[in-house]
Structure 1
């Protein structure tokens, strides 16, 4: 009887810790992404993401092209001119003229890391 109760308790613990696979699986890179937050570190490592009000979008298409209603390679929240660049899913990079922007895709969040002296990143969410 004790063994049965112990077995049921262990099984209960295992199933209660199960995470939803949909929450963990990253979304597809292709599609439209909207800028929601930026991080501009002041140089002491204390920078945090701050919400922004911006209409800047990135649109990734399957032929390794990304377009935007803004300058893709500028660390800016403005959306006043369009641009196009190429990207590499193998390297997780967006290719600019003289440098690359590294990106990380975590679930429905896309984080771009720009080549700044101090840390600077932009966070996007997937538009349904």
Structure 2
């Protein structure tokens, strides 16, 4: 009987400890400032590649789900002369710019690289690196 209670206790403890929300981990990695470094635009034949951009555009994610940028969040523009804001959800890897609320941008976080996947007919992406 003691073994049964012990096994049930271990099972419950294991389930509770494994039910950790991984979005907190990805949020912590995402929080900070990111600099725009490359863009990807495919002409429709699969030949698109990331190419370097010259830009001072940055995106900053805070721990509460807010995003700010010194450029437009709605597109892959390299301009950094206008502020924009938005929100993000780490659980779904989505970003919604305030100035274009019907637009949802899917992001990928790969180490110190952030890729924004814009809703284009052909693939179009913006690559950012984390600013130390």
TM-score interval for Structure 1 and Structure 2 normalised by the shorter chain: 0.7 to 0.9
Correspondence 1:110 to 2:111: no
Note the alpha carbon deviations across 1:19-39, whole angstroms, 9 max, x for none. xxxxxxx77100000000000
Structure 1 length-normalised TM: 0.78
**Equivalence for 1:122:** 126
Note the alpha carbon deviations across 1:8-60, whole angstroms, 9 max, x for none. xxxxxxxxxxxxxxxxxx77100000000000111101000000110000000
Note the aligned Cα RMSD (angstroms): 1.5
Query: Which has the bigger relative contact order, CA under 8 A and spacing at least 6?
Result: 1
Unaligned residue ranges in structure 1 (runs of 5+): 1-25
Q: CA deviation at 1:75?
A: 2.0
Unaligned residue ranges in structure 2 (runs of 5+): 1-25
Q: CA deviation at 1:98?
A: 0.7
Structure 2 length-normalised TM: 0.75
Correspondence 1:58 to 2:62: no
Q: CA deviation at 1:116?
A: 0.3
* Aligned mates of 1:99, 1:84 — CA distance in 2: 13
Q: CA deviation at 1:80?
A: 1.2
Structure 1 consecutive aligned stretches of length 4 or more whose deviation exceeds 2 Å:
none
